[in-house]
Amino acid sequence: MTMYTFGWCSEIQQAEKLKDLGFDYIECALVSLNLENETEYAARLPLFMNSPLPVRAFNIFFPGDLKVVGPEVDQERLQRYIHKAAKALNQVGAKNVVLGSGRSRNIPEGWERNRSEEQFMQLLSRIGEEFAGTGVTLVIEPLNKKETNLINSVSEAVRFAKQVNHPSVRVLADFYHMDEEKESLQTLIDNKAWLQHIHLADTGRFSPGTGQYPYEQFVTALKASGYEGMISAECTVRDPETDQRDSLAFMKRVFAY
């Protein structure tokens, strides 16, 4: 029997409610820890460490003004941030942290793609080294072209992960971004060895089960890939409590585990 655990991307203040609804974990924004502000970070860390629902995953790795490619990369600030992130994620007990951060990784106009790719590779290597022994895996998130111009498909993310070849660096598949980019679901099977995390949404980026996304085909491909692990809904909600309850029921039904 395939085992999945279901989470919801939300603020830490929603943890109690999501626990009551039956979720297995909550996924929060790493930037909400305010890692670069010592006072705020010290005040916020206990909320995550003592959460009534485990914070098994984080997303939004970098603040938008912390560039990881282009001429404005501040290596010292980047190193401090990654070091602090690794320590915080380990303390909280997170398993996955998602590197989406489209603004941070967007290639500026006039900057060579090759140089950007080299910078991004160096970044991944640095994170991999910092994460070694922490139990945390970085997952590269492909984003649609409206959000970034670097890494827009699962296969492209896998190309980077393969080059880094570090056990702490893997890949996420996000159903919304795949749909936006019309990416074949076969990519889930082709890249199965690298899949570490899943994000879900539905038509219009609303809650799973509220639109026309081909969920049966997605589930079939994911099961064929042998994926087992965390699946988070990352979406806009109209009526949080109803949407979250209905979406969890839908996910459990469609993934039928």
Mean pLDDT of the chain: 97
Tell me the two tokens of residue 159: 């190309």
pTM to 2 decimals?
0.97
The pLDDT of 159-171, averaged and rounded, is: 98
Question: Which among 171, 231, 190, 203 has a CA at the least distance from the CA of 23?
Answer: 231
CA dist 208 → 14, 55, 192, 204 (Å): 18, 21, 22, 10
Strand 96-99, strand 4-9: pairing? unpaired
Q: Quote the crossing angle between the two packed helices 240-255 and 215-225, to the nearest 10°.
A: 50
pLDDT band at 2 (very low <50, low <70, confident <90, very high): low
Q: 126-164 pLDDT, tens per residue?
A: 999 999 999 999 999 999 999 999 999 999 999 999 999
How many whole angstroms separate alpha carbon 41 and alpha carbon 30?
Answer: 11
| 73 CB neighbour count, 10 Å cutoff | 16
- Phi and psi, residue 64, nearest 5°: -60, -25
How many whole angstroms separate alpha carbon 168 and alpha carbon 156?
Answer: 18
Q: 24-60 pLDDT, tens per residue?
A: 999 999 999 999 999 999 999 999 999 999 999 999 9
Q: 86-123 pLDDT, tens per residue?
A: 999 999 999 999 999 999 999 999 999 999 999 999 99
Give the angle subtended at the CA of 26 by the CAs of 251 and 159, to the nearest 5°. Answer: 75
Contact of 222 with 256, CB cutoff 8 Å = no
Q: Quote the crossing angle between the two packed helices 113-131 and 154-164, to the nearest 10°.
A: 60
pLDDT band at 256 (very low <50, low <70, confident <90, very high): confident
